[in-house]
């Protein structure tokens, strides 16, 4: 058996294939948002070029169409948090597939602009509900050895379906692209109905026998009694260690939350979601040897590949070093793209030999973003925020993240007209460089440290309660990409009724 440092590969773990099967449903957020981003990028330009389109979308309409799902996601996340008190994560995810598929049919056959906006609202609502619930389910079905990969499948799903949309756009019209998205979503319904419910949720509902059968399925073995007992202990511990809103304002809790919120602001204003939402328009504005859609396919393929290959980079090189390198690489790429735009306005004849710069710049940007900043939010949310307030703080940071995503996408055209294309990309590049400096100065190195040690970084004069220290250490995992760990899932899925009001997005 092929091994590294005496340990099995995560994909050699018993039950891994069954966990991947469950992840196809647990990663439904990616199945919702990925096609939504992909259609905005490649579908809207085809809609503009269609002489038989049922109506005309101006820049304001396209901004609303593209950004609306992210605004509605905030509402969906809050709604979804309360729904889990009555319905299991797998059942809810299965139920969300039908309206999501229906929303794509609204776009395919809608004859008025209002149907486009209603469809995007449904996508955002379903995506908002699916994101936290899906992460709960992914965490519950995975093991410590597979958790890094399984928990990252939501992001991989988003990138995969964005890539699929760009490939389909090479051969089909915007109308059939929407139909294909409806079929892709609907195809998951039979599988979702056959997969087991979350073992942790079943235990919380006192369905121990059903929880045992569910755990046996996802582990691929009969003997799971010890893991069931461990889950029951974690349920009790999560109830004992959950904090409320006022705990968030204690200085040792507030400091890491502020640090993370500032990081989120930098992350969004690097322009990632604007670039990924308007890729075809961006390439069309600079020209080049390849078509805009082909260039978009290449960029999406690179992004997907780097995300797959980056599993474990942070543990090997350290999270802080990776984030700093990521920020500076993105900054250089944006500054180069902005300079190309500037020369295009001033001296377009001199750019004949540099037609490769826009594609190369966005490829390097995608490499930088995917290798560091893409999953950093979820990693830092797990590692920096103290256990007692993690559920509440996660809700605050997730609302901020989704709101800023909406702002960046909604006002892309406005900023482009006010700053020019060159000025906008220089702004993105400048933010990236400042973000790199911020990471150097304010972000601690988290790789290789226990959760108790990380809490002590912001509370050096405050001794942590023994129960918190021991609980944190017991839940520290060696996952290569600890996007979401079991302690957070236990808080979110099995917390007390008070914890239900502090939703983790």
Gap between the Cα atoms of 395 and 391, Å rounded: 6
pLDDT for 227: 78
Cβ distance 397 to 265 under 8 Å?
no
Q: Which two tokens stand for residue 500?
A: 């239900």
Q: What is the dihedral of CA 152, 157, 158, 161, to 10 degrees?
A: 160
> What are the residue boundaries of the structural domains of the chain, listed by start?
11-501
Please state, for a pLDDT cut of 70, what percent of the chain lies above it: 80
Question: What's the rounded mean pLDDT across residues 319-348?
Answer: 89
Q: How many CB atoms lie within 10 A of CB 223?
A: 8
pLDDT beyond 70 at 348: yes
Q: Hey, which of 168-177, 203-212, 292-301 has the most confident mean pLDDT?
A: 168-177
- Share above pLDDT 90 across residues of the chain, in percent, rounded to a whole number: 36
- pLDDT score of 171 more than 90: yes
In terms of pLDDT, which residue wins out, 249 or 170? 170
Cα separation of 339 and 325, whole Å?
21
**pLDDT computed for residue 198 by the predictor:** 87
- pLDDT score recorded for residue 452: 62
Give the pLDDT mean for 431-446.
Answer: 90
The most confident of the ranges 18-22, 24-28, 281-285, 435-439 is 435-439
pLDDT at 489: 39
Which pLDDT tens digit goes with each residue over 393-403?
A: 777 888 898 89
Alpha-carbon 383 to chain mean position = 17
Give yes or no for residue 286 having a pLDDT over 60: yes
| CATH topology assigned to domain 11-501 | Growth Hormone; Chain: A; (1.20.1250)
**Listed range (82-91, 291-300, 442-451) with the worst mean pLDDT:** 442-451
Is the pLDDT score of 1 beyond 50? Answer: no
pLDDT top residue among 308 and 418: 418
Average pLDDT in the 476-488 region? 37
CA distance linking residue 33 with residue 260, whole number of Å: 23
* 4 phi/psi in degrees, rounded to 5: -125, 125
pLDDT in tens, 218-274: 888 877 788 788 888 877 766 666 666 677 777 777 888 899 999 999 999 999 989
Is the model more confident about 416 or about 470? 416
Q: Regarding predicted confidence, which is higher, 311 or 102?
A: 102
> 7: part of which helix (H) or strand (E)?
strand 7-8
Asked if pLDDT for residue 145 goes beyond 90, the answer is no
Would you say 338 and 286 are in contact if contact means Cβ atoms under 8 Å apart?
Answer: no
Mean pLDDT of 81-90: 81
With a cut of 70, say whether residue 19 has pLDDT above it: yes
Note the pTM of the prediction, 2 decimals. Answer: 0.78
């Amino acid at each position: 058996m092929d091994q590294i440092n005496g340990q099995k590969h995560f994909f050699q773990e018993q039950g891994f294939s069954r966990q991947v099967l469950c992840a196809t449903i647990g990663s439904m957020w990616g199945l919702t948002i990925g096609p939504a981003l992909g259609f905005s990028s490649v579908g809207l330009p085809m809609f503009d070029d269609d002489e038989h389109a049922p109506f005309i979308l101006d820049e304001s309409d396209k901004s609303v169409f593209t950004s609306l799902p992210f605004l509605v996601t905030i509402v969906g996340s809050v709604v979804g948090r309360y729904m889990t008190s009555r319905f299991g994560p797998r059942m809810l995810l299965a139920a969300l597939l039908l309206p999501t598929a229906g929303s794509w049919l609204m776009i395919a056959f809608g004859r008025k602009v209002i149907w486009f906006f209603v469809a995007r609202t449904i996508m955002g609502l379903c995506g908002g509900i699916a994101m936290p619930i899906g992460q709960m389910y992914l965490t519950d079905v995975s093991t410590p050895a597979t958790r890094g990969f399984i928990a990252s499948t939501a992001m991989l799903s988003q990138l995969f379906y964005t890539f699929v949309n760009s490939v389909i756009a090479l051969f089909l019209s915007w109308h059939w692209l929407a139909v294909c998205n409806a079929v892709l979503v609907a195809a998951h319904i039979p599988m979702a109905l056959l997969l087991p419910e979350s073992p942790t949720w079943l235990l919380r509902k006192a369905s121990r026998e059903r929880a045992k059968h569910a755990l046996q399925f996802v582990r691929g073995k009969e003997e799971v009694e010890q893991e069931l007992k461990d889950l029951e202990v974690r349920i009790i511990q999560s109830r004992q260690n959950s904090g409320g809103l006022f705990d968030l304002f204690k200085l040792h809790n507030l400091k890491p939350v502020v640090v993370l919120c500032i990081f989120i602001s930098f992350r969004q204003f690097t322009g990632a979601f604007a670039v990924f939402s308007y890729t075809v328009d961006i390439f069309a504005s600079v020209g080049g040897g390849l078509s805009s859609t082909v260039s978009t396919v290449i960029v999406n393929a690179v992004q997907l590949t780097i995300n797959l290959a980056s599993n474990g980079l942070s543990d090997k090189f350290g999270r802080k070093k990776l984030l700093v390198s990521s920020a500076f690489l993105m900054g250089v790429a944006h500054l180069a793209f902005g300079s190309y735009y500037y020369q295009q306005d001033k001296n377009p004849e001199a750019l004949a030999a540099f037609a490769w710069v826009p594609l190369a710049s966005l490829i390097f940007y995608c490499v930088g973003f995917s290798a560091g900043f893409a999953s950093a939010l979820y990693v830092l949310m797990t590692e920096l925020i103290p256990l007692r307030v993690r559920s509440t703080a996660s809700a605050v940071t997730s609302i901020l993240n989704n709101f800023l995503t909406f702002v960046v996408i909604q006002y892309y055209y406005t900023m482009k007209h006010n700053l020019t294309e060159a000025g906008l990309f220089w702004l993105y590049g400048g933010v990236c460089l400042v973000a790199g400096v911020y990471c150097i100065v304010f972000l601690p190195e988290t790789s290789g440290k226990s959760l108790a040690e990380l809490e002590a970084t912001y509370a050096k004069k405050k001794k942590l309660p023994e129960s918190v220290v021991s609980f944190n250490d017991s839940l520290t995992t060696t996952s290569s990409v600890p996007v979401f760990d079991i302690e957070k899932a236990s808080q979110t899925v099995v917390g007390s009724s008070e914890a239900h009001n502090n939703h983790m997005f």
